[in-house]
Every structure is written in structure tokens, then in C-alpha cells.
Structure 1
Amino acid sequence: MNEEIRSLEPKNLWNKFADLNQVPRPSKKEEQVIEFIKKFGNDLQLETMVDEVGNVIIKKPATSGMENRKAVILQSHLDMVHQKNNNTQFDFDNQGIEMFVDGDWVKAKGTTLGADNGLGVATIMAILESDSIAHPPLEALFTIDEETGMTGAKGLKPGFLNGEILLNLDTEEDDEIGIGCAGGVDVTASGAYNQEEVPDGVKAFKVIVNGLQGGHSGMDIIKGLGNANKLMNRLLFNASENLELRITEINGGGLRNAIPRESEALVVVDDLQVQAFNAEIEDAAEAIKAEYAHLEPKLNIVITETEIPDLVMNMQAQEQLLKALYAAHNGVYRMSPEIDGLVETSNNVARVEVKNGKIEIRCLTRSSVESSKDDLANGLRSVFELAGYEVELAGDYPGWAPDRNSDILKVLDELYQKMNGEKANIAACHAGLECGIIGQHYPNLDMISFGPTIRGAHSPDERASISSAQKYWEFVLEILKNIPEN
């Protein structure tokens, strides 16, 4: 399958992407890919170093005639979101991504593709390896753990880099030039509950919500897509209001930065209310599917009878859980009053796990305005604390404030219009890019972000446009030729 990928144009980009995607690199487990990139730099006999947190830095002198240009930092992150469909057997710790071509798209078999940010990494590798691409002095910065905490960018120390311009290759629309991004904070609610023996005269059911699109909890949050955790809670809340329903387990969602696609719950219902329970769920499912008919055409809600468990949540804990989850904000909280169409603040109720007397709810709150981020995080904290849970706010990282007077922005703006006959979309995004954090360590950097078109990032539907990769690659080469002089 990778041979099909290697034949795509530009070959140097797609071959490096194919090489990279053979190396396991889920977030928090980047050991193999760090060694891979380190060896790559050493094999090219370029100055290569790994800092104390695991970021890899490779430096390459300017090509002939480009020595007087400003030094450029090319930056991408090594880790990828590891998501797969429930029916896909895949070991992200040990397997390479299985790719295939579908029309204009490169896709993966039942898993995330890793184009976010693997195409950026592959771009930098191809430039470092080439002896024919004109470029100024280069510093390649490969960061780790962007997707689950940005600990690579946070751990970057001053003094390693000398570049004046940073090109972040982590934007997912090829007609967009990024000049700002949101910051974020992880909100985690944890609790415990007493379990009770299952009452007599009951039947057990598994409730399943799946078939949702999922996607990037920043870039895709504006679409109003279904959140499996919130939909599951709605089903259980409504049923428990009218019936003797008891919850044993809930297992929904996954990573904080992915909109939840699937959720499962194990419940028991009084024998005499089984028919009413089925009718309740079916009516609710019909209503929800009607609401999401346009956005989520593959939404699936099913109940199946299953083996009766030994224990259930006590009723008070169950009521507190369902009400807290119902009240917890999910989705867009505030649109930017300054930039049309930009989400300012949002929250993703990413993970809900209820099992064996323990509750954990994980959210990711994002905002381009620090005070608004704090406001929403405090709102979530208040809801969960009122339910009796302990709440931790962690992994806070800053946004990247737009600079419309950026010199490198002017270069990219003019080049894009010249090459494509139309103006680029110059915008801030609701994703969390590393630029804000890197800018704290290197405050004088002139930063910009761009990249090829990627759809469905952070989900198994992730796909990268082949034609867009060609357009993007040519743009990169022209940018490097047109870096201003010192």
C-alpha cells in the first residue's frame, strides 16, 4: 500500500511521509520517532541535537547565494492522535499506519492518518535531505506531545534557536495563512460513588451511540457535530426521569482533542418496564436523529439485551452524574466579536468513564481570550464541584495573538496571490498551535502558520488532499526562495 503513496507527486514529500508513518508515534510515546528523526539528521551529517524533553533540532546552512537571508525555523510536531474505529484491530505502539489512495485523498485503514502533523514533518525532512532546494539558513524544530499537552513546546529552552522567522506547518486549509490561535486548559472532574447490588426482577441492556463524525475539537467545534457523551447522557437522563433505570457503567469518548464519536452504557431496568424503556429510547433516538439528520447522517443509537451485572450506582450518585453532565457546557461558548466567523471560546466534553465506583470526566476548554477561557473553565468547575467531584485544571497553554504587521505575513500574502490568482484567507484559528508557547521562549520571532488541506483530523476519517499537497509544496519552495535579507 505504501508503494502507491510513494508514487504520488511530489515524490520527495510523500516518500518522507511514508517513511515517517512506518514509525509508531502516538502522543506521550514518541521514543521511536525521536530516534528516527535523530538518526535522519545524523545520517545527513547535519548538526542534530535532542533537548531535555525530547524535541529534536536539526540545523542546515544556507544554500549558495542565500547566506545573507534571515534564518528560518521550520517547525512541526512529531506526535499524532491515536484514534481508531471500534471494529479496527490496531496497535499504535507497534504498527505503522496502513495507508491507501481514494481519488484525491490519502486515507488510513480504520485509524487516524497522522497527516496532522506528519505532512509538516515530512516537508521539513524533504527540505533537509535535498541538495537542490534553495533556502536560507535553516533550523528544523520537531516538537513532541503537541496533541496532549504541548509539553515539547513548553519545555523548549531559550538559546537553542537563532532563527528570526518561524514557519509552523500545522494549518489544515491550503488557502489559509494562520496568524493566531486559541489557548487551552484541561478540565478533569473525578469522583467516587457507592455501588449497590442489582435489584431482583430486572433485565440488563447495553446502550450504544456511534456512527458520529467526530473530528478536531478546535477546528470542527463550530460545525455543531454530535458529541457521543452528551447524546448518551441525554438518553439516560430522559429514561431515568420516567423509569426505574440504574447505571452500571459508561464508557464514552477518548482523547480530549477529539470530538467523541462513540459511547456505550450498561444499565438495568425493571422487568415490568422493559417495553416502556425500549419505547423511551426509540422515541428519543428518533428525535435526536431528526435533529442531526443533516450533520450526522450515520448516527446510530441501539439497545441490546445483555448479561445482568452484579452492581449498579447508588441512586443519588446516578442523579448527580446525569445532571452534572447535562449542565456541563459543550460546544461553542462565545464567537469572536473581532474576527468574523472565528470561535473565541469552546469546550469539548471529551471523555466520560464510570466504572467500579469511580467517575472521571475529561474536558478541553479553548479560547483565544484568556479571561474567557478562565470564565468557561470556572463554569465547568462549578458544575462538577456542585455534584461533589474534585476538579483539576491542568495543562494550561496560551494563545497566539495575531500580528497583522508581520513581515513574513506580507511575504506569504503576496506570494500566495501571485501563485494562485486570488488572496489567501488570513485568519486566526480555534485550534491550539505551538506558536503561542514558542513565542514565550523566543519573543522576537516573526511567526506564521500554513499547510496542506487535511480533513477529519483527530478521527479515523482523517484524510489528506493529494492535489493540495502539491500546491502547498510549491508554496513552501517559493517562500524559502523569498525570505527577506538580514
Structure 2
Amino acid sequence: MSQEIRNLEPQALWNKFADLNAVPRASKKEERVIAFMKQFGEDLGFETHIDKVGNVIIKKPATPGMENRKLIVMQSHLDMVHQKNNDTNFDFDTQGIEMYIDGDWVRAKGTTLGADNGLGVATIMAILESKVIKHPDIEALFTIDEETGMTGAMGLEGGLLNGEILLNLDTEEDDEIGIGCAGGVDVTATRNYTTETPKENSTAFLVTVKGLQGGHSGMDIHKGLGNANKLMNRLLFKATEKFSAQIGSIDGGSLRNAIPRESNAVVVISNTQKEAFLAELQLLIQDIKTEFKIPEPTLKIEINETAVPESVMNADAQKLLVKSIYAAHNGIFRMSPAIEGLVETSNNIARVLVQDSKIHIGCLTRSSVESSKMDLANSLRSTFELMGCDVTLTGDYPGWEPNPDSAILKVLDNIYYKMNNQKANVAACHAGLECGILGQNYPGMDMISFGPTIRGAHSPDERASISSAQKYWKFVLEILENIPEK
């Protein structure tokens, strides 16, 4: 299948993407891809540098006749989100992504594709390798760990780059030019709980929520998709309130930047209430499926008997947990009053893990307004502290304030119109881009973001449009030829 991908046009782009996708590159496990990029730069004979946190910088001189143009930084992140379907047998630590063509889309077999941000990385690699593409002096910046904390961008020191313009290739709509993004903060709640022995004459059930679309917790948060952790909590609330169910364990969601698609919980029910419990839960399941029949047509909620666990949560901790998750905000918190249609502030309850006498709840709170971000984060903190949790706010990173007067924006806007006979969508996004962070140490750099069309990022449904990649590639080449003079 790799050869099928390599034959796509533009071959320079897809070949580099196939090369990259052969290298495991999970966030915080980027050692192999860092070494891969270092070898790539050195093999080309270019100045190649790895900074103290692991970012890779490769510098390529201007092509003849382009020496008088402004120095540009082309930037993408090396890491990718690792998500797979439960029934997919795949080891992200050792295997390369298995790709295939589905009409106009490139997909992966049961896993994330890595187009976010692999197509951006591949674009820069193809330009560095080319002997015919016209371009000014380039500083290629490949950052690490964008997806789980942006520590690469945060750790990039001032003075390493000299570029006046930064082209960030991490936008997922080919008709969009990004000029701003949201910041974020991780909200984590933890506490211990005591256990007790399950009631005698009882039956245990495994409750499973699956079949949700999932997706990017920033870019897809406005779509009204189901959150497996919140849906599971509705079921547990009913079970505990009406049938005095005892919770043995909960395991829902995974990464903070992915809307949770699946959750599993074990509950114990007295045999005298078993039939009523199953009947009542089926009614609630039908209500949930009716609510989500349009955005989540493949949603499945199953209840199956399982072995009775050795221990369950104590009643007080269980009550506080279920009510706290019910009260904790998930989804859109506030729409932007300044930019029509833009989500300003949101939260994703990404991870709920209850086992071995420990509770762990992980959220990602995003906002383009710092005060609103912290308002929601403090609301979540208060909710979880009321249930006795220790709550930490970590990984805080700033948003990227839009600059509608950007000089490079005018260049891209004009080029896009000439190439497509229509205006580009100049917008800020609710995802976290590295531009805001990079701008702290490089405040004078003029920044812009764009990219090919990608759907379903951060989920196994991730796919990249082939026709869009062709459109985007031509756009990139035109931009490089029209970088302003110094």
C-alpha cells in the first residue's frame, strides 16, 4: 500500500509522507523521528541542529536569484496522536502507519493517519530536498511534543532563528488562512478512595460505550459529538441513584486532545433489582441514542454480565464522583463575541480512570481569551475539589492573538485569490497552534498558518484529501516564489 501512496501527485510530498509514516513518532517518544530528521538534514549537506529539548532545525540557502528575499521559517511538528480502534491489532511503538487510498482520501487501517502534522513535515522535507523549487533562505523548524503540551515550542530558545516570516503548516482546511488560535491548560483531578466488599447475592455488569466518532478536542468541539465519559456518567448516575449500584471500575477516554470515543465501567447490582436495572438502563440508552442519532449514528451502548469484582468504591466517594463529573462542564463554554462562529472557550473531559483505589480525571481547557480560559479552569477545579480531589493546572500555553494587518497575510490572501478566483477564509481557530508560544521568544516574527484539508484528526477516522494536497502544494510553491524582498 505504501507504493500506492507514493504514486500519488505531488509525488515529492507523498513520498516524504510515506517515509515519515514509517517512523514511530508518538508525543514524548520522538527519539527515532528526531534521529531520522537529523540524518535527513545531514545527508542533504545542510546545517542541521538539535536544540536542548529535541527540536530539529535545518537551514537551506536560497536558490539563485532569491537571495534578496526575506528569510523564512517553515515550521511543523514531528509528533502525532496515537489512537486506534479497540479491535485493531497495532503497536505504535514498533510499527509504521499502514495507509490506503479510499477515493479522494488517504486513510490508515484502524489507526490515526498522522497527517496532522505529518503532511506539513513532509512538505518541508520535499522543499529541502528539491533542486528545482525556487525559494528564499529557509530555516526549517521541526518541533516536538506539540500534541501533549507543546513543550518543543516552549523550550525553543530565542536567538536560534533569524527568520522574519514564519509559515506554520498545521491548518486543516485548504481554504483557510490562520491568523490566531486558542491557548490551553491541562486540568487534572486525583484522589484516593477506600473500597468495600460487593453486596452478597449480586451480579456484575460491564457497561460499554463505543462507536463514537471522537475527533479533535478543539477543532471538532462545536459539532455536538458525544463524549464517552459524559455518556457513561449518565448511565452510572441512573444506576447508582435508582438501584444503589456499586462501581467497581471506570476506564474512559485517553488523550486530552481527543474527544473520548469509548468508555468501560463495571457495576454491581443486587439480584433483586437486576431485571429492573436492565429495563431502566435500556430506556435511558434509547433516549441517548435518540439524542445523538444525527451526530453519532454508530453509537453503541452495551450491558453484559461479567465477574463480580473483589472490591467496589465506598458509597460516599462513589456519590461524589458521579455528581462531580455530571456537574463538570464539557464542550463549548463561550462563543467569541469578536469573531463570528469561533468557539472562544471550551473543555474536554478526556480521561476518567477509576481503579485500584485511585481516581484520575484529565481535562483540556482551551480559550483564545486568557481570562476566560482560567475562569473555566477554576470552575472545573472547584467542582473537583468539592469531591475531595487534588487538582493541578499544568501545561499552560498562550493563544495566538490575531493580526489582521500582517504583511505576510496580505501576500497569501492575494495569491489564494489569484489561484482560486475566490477569497480565502481568514480566521482564528480553536485548536492550539505553536505560533503563540513561538511568538514569545520571537516577538517580531510575522506568522501565518495554512495547510491541506484533513478530516477526523486525533481519531482513527483521520483522513487527508488527495485533491486538496495537490491544491495546497501549488499554493506553497507560489508563496515561496512571492516572499517579499528584504
Output the TM-score relative to the length of structure 2: 1.00
Counterpart for residue 418 of structure 1: 418
Shift of 1:368: 0.1
Residues 317-328 of structure 1 correspond to what in structure 2 (within 5 A)?
Answer: 317-328=317-328
Shift of 1:241: 1.0
Shift of 1:224: 1.1
Tell me the secondary structure at the aligned position of residue 259 of structure 1: coil
| Equivalent position amino acid for 1:380 in 2 | L
Tell me the secondary structure at the aligned position of residue 225 of structure 1: coil
Q: Distance in 2 between matches of 1:459 and 1:230?
A: 18
Counterpart for residue 349 of structure 2: 349
Shift of 1:308: 1.1
| Equivalent position amino acid for 2:429 in 1 | C
Shift of 1:199: 1.4
Q: Distance in 2 between matches of 1:349 and 1:381?
A: 12
| Equivalent position amino acid for 2:276 in 1 | A
Shift of 1:482: 0.2
For residues 425-453 of structure 1, the C-alpha deviation after alignment (integer angstroms, 9 at most, x for no partner) is: 00000000000000001000000000000
Q: Distance in 2 between matches of 1:104 and 1:253?
A: 30
Q: Distance in 2 between matches of 1:379 and 1:35?
A: 42
Q: Distance in 2 between matches of 1:295 and 1:444?
A: 43
| Equivalent position amino acid for 1:369 in 2 | V
Tell me the secondary structure at the aligned position of residue 364 of structure 2: strand
Counterpart for residue 70 of structure 1: 70
Counterpart for residue 109 of structure 2: 109
Residues 293-372 of structure 1 correspond to what in structure 2 (within 5 A)?
Answer: 293-372=293-372
For residues 51-75 of structure 1, the C-alpha deviation after alignment (integer angstroms, 9 at most, x for no partner) is: 0000000000000000000000000
Q: Distance in 1 between matches of 2:239 and 2:199?
A: 18
Tell me the secondary structure at the aligned position of residue 285 of structure 2: helix
Q: Distance in 2 between matches of 1:320 and 1:248?
A: 15
Q: Distance in 1 between matches of 2:80 and 2:244?
A: 43
Answering whether residue 263 of structure 2 is matched by residue 290 of structure 1, we say: no
- Point out 4+ residue stretches in structure 1 off by more than 4 angstroms: none
Tell me the secondary structure at the aligned position of residue 268 of structure 1: strand
Counterpart for residue 463 of structure 2: 463
Tell me the secondary structure at the aligned position of residue 473 of structure 2: helix
Counterpart for residue 155 of structure 1: 155
Residues 368-447 of structure 1 correspond to what in structure 2 (within 5 A)?
Answer: 368-447=368-447
Output the TM-score relative to the length of structure 1: 1.00
Counterpart for residue 33 of structure 2: 33
| Equivalent position amino acid for 2:375 in 1 | D
For residues 90-142 of structure 1, the C-alpha deviation after alignment (integer angstroms, 9 at most, x for no partner) is: 11111100000000000000000000000000000000000000000000000
Counterpart for residue 260 of structure 2: 260
Q: Distance in 1 between matches of 2:111 and 2:439?
A: 33
For residues 327-385 of structure 1, the C-alpha deviation after alignment (integer angstroms, 9 at most, x for no partner) is: 00000000000100000000000000000100000000000000000000000000000
| Equivalent position amino acid for 1:52 in 2 | K
Q: Distance in 2 between matches of 1:201 and 1:186?
A: 42
Q: Distance in 1 between matches of 2:391 and 2:99?
A: 40
Q: Distance in 1 between matches of 2:258 and 2:244?
A: 33
Residues 81-160 of structure 1 correspond to what in structure 2 (within 5 A)?
Answer: 81-160=81-160
Counterpart for residue 237 of structure 1: 237
For residues 169-210 of structure 1, the C-alpha deviation after alignment (integer angstroms, 9 at most, x for no partner) is: 000000000000000000000011000011100001000000
Counterpart for residue 210 of structure 1: 210
Shift of 1:281: 1.2
| Equivalent position amino acid for 1:201 in 2 | N
| Equivalent position amino acid for 1:404 in 2 | P
Unaligned runs of 5+ residues in structure 1 are none
Q: Distance in 2 between matches of 1:167 and 1:276?
A: 60
Q: Distance in 2 between matches of 1:281 and 1:256?
A: 29
Tell me the secondary structure at the aligned position of residue 251 of structure 2: strand
Q: Distance in 1 between matches of 2:51 and 2:281?
A: 54
Q: Distance in 2 between matches of 1:244 and 1:331?
A: 29
| Equivalent position amino acid for 2:390 in 1 | E
Q: Distance in 2 between matches of 1:74 and 1:244?
A: 58
Q: Distance in 2 between matches of 1:186 and 1:280?
A: 36
| Equivalent position amino acid for 1:481 in 2 | E
Tell me the secondary structure at the aligned position of residue 279 of structure 2: helix
Counterpart for residue 8 of structure 1: 8
For residues 390-433 of structure 1, the C-alpha deviation after alignment (integer angstroms, 9 at most, x for no partner) is: 00000000000000000000000000000001000000000000
Counterpart for residue 192 of structure 1: 192
Identical pairs, percent = 72
| Equivalent position amino acid for 2:412 in 1 | L
Counterpart for residue 172 of structure 1: 172
Tell me the secondary structure at the aligned position of residue 403 of structure 1: coil
Shift of 1:244: 2.2
Shift of 1:240: 1.2
Report the RMSD for the aligned CA atoms in angstroms: 0.4
For residues 255-278 of structure 1, the C-alpha deviation after alignment (integer angstroms, 9 at most, x for no partner) is: 000000000001110001111111
Q: Distance in 2 between matches of 1:318 and 1:195?
A: 10
Q: Distance in 1 between matches of 2:221 and 2:72?
A: 32
Tell me the secondary structure at the aligned position of residue 351 of structure 1: strand
Tell me the secondary structure at the aligned position of residue 226 of structure 1: coil
